[in-house]
């Protein structure tokens, strides 16, 4: 009954969440993957079968008792000197039969010149974003897990500052015999508590995600299929002015246009384990490739991501590279340290 109540509560919150396309929300940095394995899996995944506590940062239902005393820390270099730091730690309470985690994701944009309306430099300011989170999860019967995350969000861009609060709810089904896991996640359900000066409250980047992962019994590989932003079918970013000027028909109703809108929700990923201590990941994000394609040129690995992990007994080392353009990508490094035996 507890699990049914969580599912109903999740769906009710989802109906209240914003139906907003990318680029039109506040705190869009919440969509960035906080850990290398998530980056390697295409940026969104709520069902991977793994012992990486970092994935529970974006899906609290992945927080398990086996992750007790595990710490995840990651660092990524984004474009133009932007730095992304993340730290996440978990513990299990035998008394309450619950798992807990807490941590923070911090974006540092470096020093930016501050100017007046005439372009005269008045000094520098240091913009930043961060989200602090506390999560809890619990097992229901043998195969079900559910969890919730509470978030405090803050942005500071000199004079322009804003704070918000949000909630994530996750549900997972895991069959250890069939090596199959499914996940349902509702992320970033919340409100902007204090808007930026001179603005009204904006919508948070809500995402309803369904994921499936299957690990083969007789081969060291697992596949993940993730469908994101299921609360809205058409997530194409339509710029009417640009489309009209260039002769693009955004109202085309033919079958290929419908298929394109459908596939923008999907991310495909595969993870290979050539031996117990090595993990190789590759993924393809269709939406990312379509939105970042440049016309009349080769787009290379845009939309793809890759990852490599070395999994020792008490230490996991991971590296991931995600491609957002045809020539460059961003790198992310992370480690998981287990403090107990």
Rounded to an integer, the average pLDDT of 42-57 is 96
- Say if residue 224's pLDDT is above 50: yes
Domain presence at residue 187: yes
Of the listed ranges 35-44, 128-137, 317-326, the one predicted with least confidence: 317-326
- Say if residue 333's pLDDT is above 50: yes
Domain presence at residue 250: no
Q: What region does 122 belong to: left with phi over 0, alpha with psi -120 to 50, or beta?
A: alpha
Domain presence at residue 37: yes
Residues 6 or more apart whose CB falls under 8 angstroms from that of 70 comprise 53, 89, 90, 336, 337, 338, 339
Rounded to an integer, the average pLDDT of 242-259 is 60
- Say if residue 184's pLDDT is above 80: yes
- Say if residue 238's pLDDT is above 70: no
CA gap 65, 208 in Å, rounded: 25
CA gap 147, 239 in Å, rounded: 38
Domain presence at residue 239: no
Domain presence at residue 259: no
- Say if residue 134's pLDDT is above 90: yes
Domain that holds residue 144: 2-230+265-338
- Say if residue 165's pLDDT is above 50: yes
What pTM was computed for the model? 0.88
Give pLDDT, residue 34: 93
Residues 6 or more apart whose CB falls under 8 angstroms from that of 299 comprise 289, 292, 293, 326
Neighbouring C-beta atoms of residue 42, cutoff 10 Å: 27
CA gap 149, 136 in Å, rounded: 7
Domain presence at residue 249: no
- Say if residue 9's pLDDT is above 80: no
For residue 203, give both structure tokens.
């919508």
Q: How many domains does the chain have?
A: 1
Is the torsion defined by CA of 6, 12, 14, 17 positive or negative?
Answer: negative
We report the CATH number of the domain holding residue 220 as: 2.40.160.40
- The pLDDT mean for the chain works out to 88
Domain presence at residue 254: no
Give pLDDT, residue 22: 54
Domain presence at residue 49: yes
Report the percentage of the chain scoring pLDDT > 90.
70
For residue 227, give both structure tokens.
């469908």
Answer for the pair 166, 151: CB distance below 8 angstroms, yes or no. Answer: yes
């Amino acid at each position: 009954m507890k699990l049914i109540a969580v599912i109903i509560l999740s769906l009710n919150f989802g109906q209240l969440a914003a139906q907003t396309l990318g680029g039109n929300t506040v705190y869009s940095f919440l969509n960035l993957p906080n850990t290398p394995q998530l980056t390697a899996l295409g940026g969104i995944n709520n069902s991977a079968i793994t012992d990486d506590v970092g994935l529970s940062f974006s899906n609290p239902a992945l927080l398990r008792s086996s992750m007790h005393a595990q710490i995840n820390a990651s660092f990524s270099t984004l474009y133009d000197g932007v730095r992304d730091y993340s730290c996440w730690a978990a513990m299990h309470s035998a008394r309450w039969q619950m798992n807990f985690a807490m941590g923070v994701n911090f974006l540092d944009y470096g020093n930016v010149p501050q100017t007046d309306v005439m372009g005269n430099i008045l000094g520098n300011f240091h913009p930043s974003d961060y989200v602090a989170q506390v999560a809890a999860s619990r097992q229901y019967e043998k195969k079900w897990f559910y969890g919730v995350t509470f978030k405090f969000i803050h942005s500071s861009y000199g004079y322009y500052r804003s704070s918000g609060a949000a909630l994530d709810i996750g549900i997972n089904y895991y069959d250890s015999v069939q090596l199959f896991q499914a996940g349902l996640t509702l992320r970033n359900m919340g409100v902007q508590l204090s808007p930026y000066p001179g603005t009204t409250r904006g919508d948070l980047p809500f995402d309803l995600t369904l994921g499936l992962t299957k690990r083969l019994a007789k081969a060291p590989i697992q596949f993940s299929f993730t469908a994101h932003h299921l609360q809205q079918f058409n997530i194409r970013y339509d710029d009417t002015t640009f489309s009209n000027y260039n002769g693009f028909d955004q109202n085309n109703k033919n079958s290929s246009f419908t298929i394109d809108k459908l596939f923008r929700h999907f991310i495909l990923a595969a993870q290979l384990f050539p031996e117990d201590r090595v993990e190789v990941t590759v993924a393809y994000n269709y939406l990312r490739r379509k939105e970042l394609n440049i016309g009349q040129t080769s787009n290379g690995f845009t939309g793809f991501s890759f990852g490599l992990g070395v999994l020792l007994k008490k230490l996991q080392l991971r590296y991931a590279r995600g491609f957002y353009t045809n020539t460059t990508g961003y790198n992310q490094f992370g480690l998981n340290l287990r403090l107990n035996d």
